[in-house]
Amino acid sequence: MLMLAVAVWCVGCSDHDGSTTPSNLLGDFDPTSDGEIQARIADLKLLLPEETYNIITEKSRNDPRCKEANRAQLGLPDSPNGQWYYTCDKLIEGMAKWKEFANEGNENTRKLEIAAFLANIAQETGAGKAMDPTFGGPGCFIQEGGGAARHGCGYGGCVKTPDFVGDRCKDNDDKCPGGDVGWCGRGPHQLSWNYNYQAFGKGMGKGDRYLDDPDLLTKNPEIGIAGSIWFWGHADLGSSKDPEKPFKPSAHDVAVGNWKPTDADKECGRTKADFGVIINIINGGLECGLGAVNPQAAKNRLDYFKAIAAEMGLTIPDDDPFLDNCSTQKNFAKCVSFPDPTSRCGKDWADANSNCRRCCSSDEDCSADSAEYPLCFGSLSNPTPSGETCSCGH
């Protein structure tokens, strides 16, 4: 029996990896004005003609298994998702809502960004290589686990019970109480976590609408697709609050070559703006670097990208430096772009603040050689409260 590869790795999940504060609007895409929407749609249709898109999505578009398990409960159509959600028109309309997407650089650069986006859709919500070994069957599922994760409380609590986190969530088998729903992955790239739903709503000028009703991303293709495009253009600032020093750059800035690696990035194996860095942004904690939990997923993304790009008329030589699968890159949480010159190891923040122990960028730096002081803390006093000057050499 042919089995579908239901995606379980979600954008918002990896976005949270190592980021200590909610997303905000700095560094995000700008919404397209109402007067410019039709022109954007026309331009995008030239870059991704419907006949090309239909070839790329042929395997998933008509397969009856590409449906949400909870479609009756949500009032979704009974037809495959590719026939009502992931249509070419709906995808183009969602893309057009953001001014910068596939709208920078020459035609090749704009096509390359679309191809990279579709390749990651194939891994996140596609049918998988079993059904479509060439393109990955992009546009098969909408929700994480095909709907199985809708009631999960592991992404910041639940809509009606936002405080249902931590031990309360775990003690209830990671499920929201009484049929309440959480902020699991929804849409092409599986937008996840309560703060991302909130930031997306603010970016769209809708306030807390999507935070309060995350199922709108499942029921309304334009909203769900727009949420994924928003995340594609979102630079996670982490705790820095400085758009010039993001925890992670946006996938858009990498795709169009706007992102430049810092010296620290280069030491982490992120030496240039390539496809591997985009994978790293989306799910580096699981797919990138030595010891990655799921390195095959990164290889899949690159395979899909090359096939989709070729179908779109892009010729990318096999030795092109953009074709990287992040196998030699450390993820952003373990190896940061902008090391904090005051980060030190300790057993808690007060302990680290008071002692000039080893400098660090992540807990991994500390736990490698100290069971007593295993955690990395930043924003520490220098000198310490006792007057000792600590130099981290950054």
* Cα dihedral 141, 287, 251, 194 sign: positive
Q: How many other C-beta atoms are found inside a 10 Å radius of the C-beta of residue 266?
A: 12
Q: Given the residues 93, 100, 124, 287, select the one marked as catalytic.
A: 124
3-state secondary structure of 229: helix
From the list 205, 234, 219, 175, the residue with the least C-alpha distance to 11 is: 234
**Could you tell me the mean pLDDT of each successive run of 10 residues in the chain, 394 residues long?**
37 39 61 95 98 97 95 97 97 94 96 98 94 96 96 97 94 96 96 93 93 98 94 85 88 96 95 98 95 96 98 92 96 87 89 89 78 88 85 57
Q: Angle of helix 37-47 relative to helix 107-125, nearest 10 degrees? A: 80
Q: How many other C-beta atoms are found inside a 10 Å radius of the C-beta of residue 177?
A: 14
Residues 6+ apart with CB under 8 A from 85: 139, 142, 221, 224
pLDDT at position 26 = 56
- Cβ–Cβ under 8 Å, residues 161 and 147: no
Tell me, yes or no, if 124 is annotated catalytic: yes
**Model confidence, pTM:** 0.84
CA dist 94 and 224 (Å) reads 8
DSSP secondary structure code for residue 144 in this structure: G
| Main-chain phi, psi angles of 98, to 5 degrees | -120, 130
Please write down the long-range contacts of 147-150, taking CB distance under 8 Å and 24 or more positions apart.
Answer: 147/68, 147/69, 147/70, 147/71, 147/74, 148/69, 149/182, 149/184, 149/185, 150/70, 150/181, 150/182, 150/184, 150/215
CATH code reported for the domain at 11-149+184-311: 1.10.530.10
pLDDT at position 6 = 38
Domain residue limits, the chain: 11-149+184-311, 341-394
pLDDT at position 239 = 66
From the list 5, 235, 219, the residue with the least C-alpha distance to 124 is: 5
354: which 2 tokens? 């008071």
